[in-house]
């Protein structure tokens, strides 16, 4: 991969981890302890859960359902569904307490803006244009009414106007020939480069990190990031799609205060992304 390709790769997306198991599972006990491991469908039993490799440790543990506050076999972090159901329940571990504080802050910001006029009256938040738009080595459907342009090899999809925060939500998609390095090495380079580009420490942070998902076409790495500038704080839904011949990067941006209002259209567009492989 050329230095220009690497720089575009870094601007388009980032990730902290790659590789590892494609299965997931998170369990919250009634005492506030959080365990992350692998929880397969057959491990969810009427009276107990069987969690494999809890917090990276070898082996498995059986957990009586009476001890369980909440679990999700498809996640490996505490999700919006958990915090909506248990916003004030005690948690153990600074990582999870901080995650809840960030979620509560986002909810406070979201409520500040939910009385603003909708961006597109009468348009479903997840509605997409019926005809896909294409970029170098990929295609996807854009949110209904959004503009599309190709800029320096990056497909830029942009809302028709600014939202109440003064920011115009947008999606960037870029692809490059698959590198000879492993996915883990590629995303680690991307992460380090984005930290360098961000400048001062603390400007860039990963808020949510999901395990890589393996499937027949390759694997996907998804995460939610936060970038802080002098003018505003941006949240971005990012996904790195590793395929046999190409790596495709998707990044959807909005102001942190209104991100939740746009997330449905981001997710809907991402679900249609296809690589030419």
Query: For the chain (length 277 residues), average pLDDT per consecutive 10?
Result: 48 36 78 92 93 90 96 86 92 91 77 46 66 92 93 90 89 83 63 57 71 77 83 88 86 91 91 85
73 and 148 both lie in a single domain = no
Task: Please give the residue range of the domain that contains residue 48.
Answer: 26-113
Last residue of a domain, one of 113, 142, 177: 113
* DSSP annotation string for 139-162: EEPPBTT-EEEEETTEEEEE-SS-
92 and 170 both lie in a single domain = no
pLDDT at 22 (0 to 100): 43
Tokens of 75: 């996640």
Does a structural domain hold residue 122? no
Q: Look at residues 226, 248, 174, 222 and name the one whose alpha carbon lies nearest to residue 8.
A: 174
Does a structural domain hold residue 96? yes
60: β partners: 52
Tokens of 17: 């981890």
Start-to-end CA distance of the chain, whole Å, equals: 18
d(CA 32, CA 234): 30
44 and 77 both lie in a single domain = yes
d(CA 246, CA 220): 12
96 and 226 both lie in a single domain = no
Does a structural domain hold residue 192? yes
d(CA 51, CA 40): 8
171 and 198 both lie in a single domain = yes
Tokens of 112: 């500040």
Neighbours of 161 (CB within 10 A): 10
Which residues contact residue 100 at a Cβ distance below 8 angstroms, ignoring those fewer than 6 apart?
A: 78, 83, 87, 91
d(CA 22, CA 240): 14
pLDDT at 184 (0 to 100): 63
Does a structural domain hold residue 120? no
pLDDT at 232 (0 to 100): 85
| pTM as predicted | 0.59
In the chain, the number of structural domains is 2
Contact criterion met (CB below 8 Å) for 253 and 171: yes
Does a structural domain hold residue 118? no
164 and 270 both lie in a single domain = yes
183 and 106 both lie in a single domain = no
Which backbone phi and psi does 22 adopt, to 5 degrees? -90, -10
pLDDT at 203 (0 to 100): 74
Q: Look at residues 174, 191, 164 and name the one whose alpha carbon lies nearest to residue 260.
A: 164
Half-sphere exposure of 224 (CA within 13 A, CB side): 20
pLDDT at 275 (0 to 100): 86
d(CA 265, CA 254): 11
Does a structural domain hold residue 14? yes
Measured CA to CA in angstroms, residue 102 lies from 23, 84, 110 at distances of 26, 13, 12
Tokens of 188: 């680690």
**Three-class SS of residue 209?**
strand
89 and 13 both lie in a single domain = no
Does a structural domain hold residue 121? no
Last residue of a domain, one of 51, 86, 113: 113
Does a structural domain hold residue 123? no
67 and 199 both lie in a single domain = no
132 and 269 both lie in a single domain = yes
**How do 170-177 and 246-255 pair as beta strands?**
antiparallel
Contact criterion met (CB below 8 Å) for 84 and 78: no
102 and 189 both lie in a single domain = no
pLDDT at 195 (0 to 100): 59
pLDDT at 116 (0 to 100): 44
CATH number (domain holding residue 14): 3.40.1000.10
Contact criterion met (CB below 8 Å) for 235 and 226: yes
Q: What is the largest CA-CA distance in the chain?
A: 56
55 and 13 both lie in a single domain = no
Last residue of a domain, one of 113, 142, 170: 113
Q: At what angle do helices 259-270 and 94-113 cross, to 10 degrees?
A: 100
């Amino acid at each position: 991969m050329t230095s220009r390709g690497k720089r575009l790769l870094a601007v388009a997306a980032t990730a902290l981890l790659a590789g590892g198991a494609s299965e997931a599972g998170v369990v919250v006990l009634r005492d506030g302890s959080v365990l992350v491991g692998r929880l397969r469908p057959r491990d969810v039993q009427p009276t107990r859960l069987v969690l494999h490799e809890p917090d990276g440790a070898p082996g498995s543990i059986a957990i009586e359902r009476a001890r369980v506050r909440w679990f999700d076999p498809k996640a490996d972090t505490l999700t919006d569904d958990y915090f909506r159901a248990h916003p004030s329940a005690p948690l153990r571990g600074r990582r999870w307490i901080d995650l809840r504080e960030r979620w509560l802050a986002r909810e406070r910001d979201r409520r500040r803006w939910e009385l603003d006029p909708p961006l597109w009256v009468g348009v479903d938040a997840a509605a997409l244009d019926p005809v896909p738009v294409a970029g170098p080595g990929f295609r996807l459907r854009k949110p209904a009414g959004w503009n599309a342009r190709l800029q320096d090899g990056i497909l830029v999809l942009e809302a028709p106007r600014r939202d109440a925060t003064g920011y115009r939500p947008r999606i960037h998609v870029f692809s490059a020939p698959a590198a000879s390095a492993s996915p883990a090495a590629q995303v680690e380079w991307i992460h380090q480069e984005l930290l360098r580009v961000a400048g001062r420490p603390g400007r860039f942070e990963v808020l949510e990190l999901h395990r890589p998902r393996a499937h027949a076409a390759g694997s996907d790495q998804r995460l939610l990031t936060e970038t802080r500038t002098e003018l505003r704080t941006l949240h971005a839904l990012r996904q790195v799609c590793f395929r046999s011949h190409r790596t495709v990067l998707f990044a959807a941006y909005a102001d942190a205060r209104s991100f939740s209002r746009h997330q449905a259209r981001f997710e809907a567009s991402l679900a249609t992304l296809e690589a030419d492989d």
